[in-house]
């Protein structure tokens, strides 16, 4: 006698996909950081058993790598040849990268054979190629990129530190300056009073205009 209902299919649950696992991992990371990501926390969020996740990924490290890759997918290298304002397009790119590094300092991949690392290399190559197309020598193009990425990473680290620092600590840094140098002190106080993202945008814009005058004019 045949059963009225076909036997349940074995293997992967029908409603779960690898993309859904990655989506849940990104959501966990965004909410609570990389340290919150585990097979248990992910399984709880998805409403499945931890063992189910291994039907899609070999380890939680693979899931974390896929999540970082998804985050990097949202950061697009601008096409400087078609952008209405190439300088502004570059500023937006580095702002997006900085925002990611502030929220998730562990997002920079460590494994050279990982997809996120390949994405980062692809971004670098795309930027360098465009810098060369705008008349920079190889050495200057490389120096331009290193300066911009260095400022971005340093600014992200400073912003993370500032989130933990008290107003009294910041004020103490300023009071350590020589009080006789009033002009410098006043300028630094004005600079420090600006939101850090405003300072960062201004810094990147000035660097781009200085190193890539063909984009925005060094004197503007």
- DSSP per position, 70-106: HHHHT-PPP-TTT-SSHHHHHHHHHHHHHHHHHH-GG
What integer pLDDT is reported at residue 182 of this predicted model?
Answer: 57
Cα angle for residues 133, 134, 135 (degrees, 5° grid): 90
What integer pLDDT is reported at residue 9 of this predicted model?
Answer: 42
Q: Which residues are CB-neighbours of 60 under 8 A, at least 6 positions away?
A: 37, 38, 39, 42, 53
Whether residue 204 contacts residue 212, with contact meaning beta carbons closer than 8 Å, is answered with no
R_g of the chain, CA atoms, integer Å: 23
Per-residue pLDDT tens over the stretch 140-154: 999 999 999 999 988
Whether the predicted model's global pTM rises above the 0.85 cut: no
As a whole number, mean pLDDT of residues 79-83 equals: 92
Whether residue 158 contacts residue 140, with contact meaning beta carbons closer than 8 Å, is answered with no
As a whole number, mean pLDDT of residues 5-26 equals: 70
33: left (phi over 0), alpha (psi -120 to 50) or beta: left
Kindly list the distances between the CA atom of residue 3 and the CA atoms of 11, 124, 201, 208, 209, in Å, as whole numbers in the listed order. 21, 60, 68, 71, 75
What integer pLDDT is reported at residue 199 of this predicted model?
Answer: 83
Q: In the structure encoding, which two tokens stand for residue 188, read together?
A: 């630094």
As a whole number, mean pLDDT of residues 77-89 equals: 92
Whether residue 117 contacts residue 175, with contact meaning beta carbons closer than 8 Å, is answered with no
Average pLDDT, the chain: 80
State how far the Cα of 120 lies from the Cα of 97, in Å rounded to an integer.
11
Element (H, E) at 30: helix 18-32
Give the number of other CB atoms < 10 A from CB of residue 169: 11
Work out the pLDDT band at 58, boundaries 50, 70, 90: very high
Work out the pLDDT band at 220, boundaries 50, 70, 90: very low
Secondary structure tally for the chain: helices H, strands E: 11, 0
């Amino acid at each position: 006698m045949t059963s009225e209902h076909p036997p349940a299919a074995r293997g992967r649950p029908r409603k779960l996909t690898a993309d859904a696992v990655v989506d849940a991992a990104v959501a966990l990371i965004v909410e609570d950081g990389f340290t919150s990501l585990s097979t248990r926390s992910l399984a709880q969020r998805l409403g499945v058993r931890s063992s189910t996740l291994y039907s899609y990924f070999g380890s939680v490290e693979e899931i974390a790598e896929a999540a970082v890759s998804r985050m990097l997918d949202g950061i697009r290298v601008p096409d400087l040849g078609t952008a209405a304002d190439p300088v502004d397009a570059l500023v937006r790119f580095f702002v997006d990268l900085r925002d990611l590094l502030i929220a998730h300092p562990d997002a920079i991949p460590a494994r050279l054979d990982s997809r996120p690392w390949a994405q980062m290399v692809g971004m670098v190559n795309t930027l360098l190629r465009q810098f060369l197309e705008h008349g920079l020598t190889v050495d200057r193009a490389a120096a331009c990129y290193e300066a911009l990425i260095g400022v971005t990473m340093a600014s992200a680290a400073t912003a993370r530190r500032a989130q933990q620092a008290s107003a009294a600590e910041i004020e103490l840094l300023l009071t350590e300056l020589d009080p006789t140098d009033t002009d410098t002190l006043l300028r630094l106080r004005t600079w420090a009073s600006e939101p850090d993202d405003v300072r960062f945008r201004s810094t990147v814009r000035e660097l781009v205009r200085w190193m890539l005058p063909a984009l925005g004019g060094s004197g503007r």
